[in-house]
Structure 1
Amino acid sequence: MPPKGKARAFKSKPSLPSKASASIQVQSKGDPPKPFQPSPKHLEPFLPNLSKSHVYITHIDAKPRDFKRNIFAVPVLMNLVIIGLIVWRITIVGPFYMKICSSLMGKTNETTMRTANLPFNEIKSEILRRSMTFMVDLLIYSFVWPWPKAFFLGQTIANPVMWRLRVGFRDKEIIVRRSRRWYNAAENVLDEGTGQDLFLSNVYQAVDPMWMSEKTGYLMLSKDWDLDWKLMILAHKLVDKHDMNFSDFKTTILVHSEEFGWVVIQSAAAGGSAKEEEGRRKIVAFKDELTAMGKENLFFRWIELVQFESIQPGGFGPERQQETMAKAKRLFEDQGVDFDRFWAKVGGMQGMPGMDDM
């Protein structure tokens, strides 16, 4: 099971597109409605392997390979420990079950109960003890064993171990996510309505650049999305054979429509407008630089300051932004960070959400 991420102060969900931008607007006859577009030709070698009953998200995981190796070591060790405990349990309880089976076949042993010669309380106690043993082992088989089984032996969409054995650890890896049961409720996602709202809500959250920048691909398993190990292996095979390129798997949402076939939401549209995407990337660079300096608390205090100032009466115009920057400068310098030099290092404030007039 992937570990839970730590809580963050800046955790607002990415906003959905407005009704104007997400409404049904047919571009031309035969084209899907916005924000969807026909699947590009370069995806044709990949598309026949997708299931029409799922939504897929592809993206490139550019985290360092050593980081990915360390992350993957955690579930490997966890599942090996689980297997070890199950084997230990089998060695402890196995002989007990074998003796019960022998007793049922008429071979007398210490598990054989001659109820005619036993007090009722002793019979009741032994039945309760054996029932508890059976229940514990049934729960282990039903709820614990499936974890390592799926991790090492899963066949439906392959398994993580097969993925790592075939692909290895690379600095650039193709990640393919597949929708879970929620998509069954999102009928007619190309038509404006509840189904499309659910679809856009789930996929826009799943491709939020700030959220994605903090996670390696393996940690993107969630209640809404599976990782399709088989498709990830196939995608790398296609790239290795030069049938496709890494750039073909940039952040893309793929969904099948009976009317238009496979349609996609690509590039900036997958995470909102280009301006919104740039703003999120600038925030990520801002946070990463402060974290590297050991001043991550400054990031959260900055966010709190900007959010507080932006909701004050009178709006967050140029004058209020200048005042906010003066307060932020004092905040930084109180902790020994040169405000002007810091912003020069991360590329300036241009593109930061709410700082349009800076």
Structure 2
Amino acid sequence: MDQPTTAVPYASPASAQGAPFAERPQKYDGLLLAGFGGPEGQDDVIPFLRNVTRGRGIPDERLEEVAHHYRHFGGVSPINAQNRALKAAIEEELARRGLDLPVYWGNRNWAPYLSEAVRDAADAGDHRLLAFATSAYSSFSSCRQYREDFARVLEETGLSETVTIDKIRQFFDHPGFVDSFVDSIREALQRFREEGVGIAQMRVLFSTHSIPVDDAQRSGPRDTDFGPGGAYEAQHLAVAAAVMERVSAQDPTLQDVAWELVYQSRSGPASQPWLEPDICDRIAQLPAEPVEAIAISPIGFVSDHMEVLWDLDTEALEAAAEVGVRAVRTATPGVDPVYVAGIVDLVQERIAAVDPADRAAATPLGPWFDVCRPACCENVRAGFKPAAAGIAP
């Protein structure tokens, strides 16, 4: 597909010129569900971690330090089963709405790989793809890396001249995502109250994956100042506030419950600054404030994958038990019908090129762009590689 005059490589006609939002309707042949991937047996664990860390030269003995998280669960990450369930739920919702749009699922780091999914789509004659990446926020690892993967796959498969891939906007503040966190947080806080915990002694910890501060500061468009944590931190703070507004609307007696954003799953060297505070460090401080009960909401994650099962359900809950704080980990979106309906809302929004003023957004930061802006979410270590669904670089 010759695109010498386009601003956005590998893009459909509706997005190729680089406008922030699609300006005219676009028919798509298929939906590409893009996931992170995970091992499905003990023999898969180290090869999977090699894929995750490719290009960084990390020896297997260091990878084994992380591998024990997976080995604790039999070497099986739940993420692939969750994406199979999500794919089925999306297909059911598409069919319910009468949308004839096949769903192709591919992962970044484990089978089924994105290259397999794109080849399957092309073999079926589905050349114009709309991608939904299972990561809601803006950063290199949660957005741009997927876009680079799309470009790499199109080049490696030889399909760059015949297949286009657009990407659904970052959905951090779409109501379907935001609302899926509300009920379980409200129920946890109400349960604490029934057990005799006062409002002032409750706390909601909204937890997300930490990333290097340098990467956080480069998240989002370069022409906007989002604060010291970039768009990544600003988006999480905005979503947490929106969730708590909804909790209070459902139960006004909970409106004074305090909340804060914390981080987990740090994996870099001690010399490299990452976003803080770490959730376990923060939990250790809470009894002195005094806090008696916490609801831990994995607001940075869409399903109960390894960072939730290990870092929260194991390490964070153990940290709370050690200091005598009651703790409940609340739900991720998973296949909540509200979340699944929101995904299909986003598909229809992009197909119809809905005006930004008419798009659903639960925070002042949204709706986010259809087409990523220049120099958005740079990888500090590797610079800019070719990427789909955004203006170069």
The answer to whether TM tops 0.5 is no
Please, what TM-score do these two structures have when normalized by structure 2?
0.20
Please, what TM-score do these two structures have when normalized by structure 1?
0.21
Bigger Rg over Cα: 1
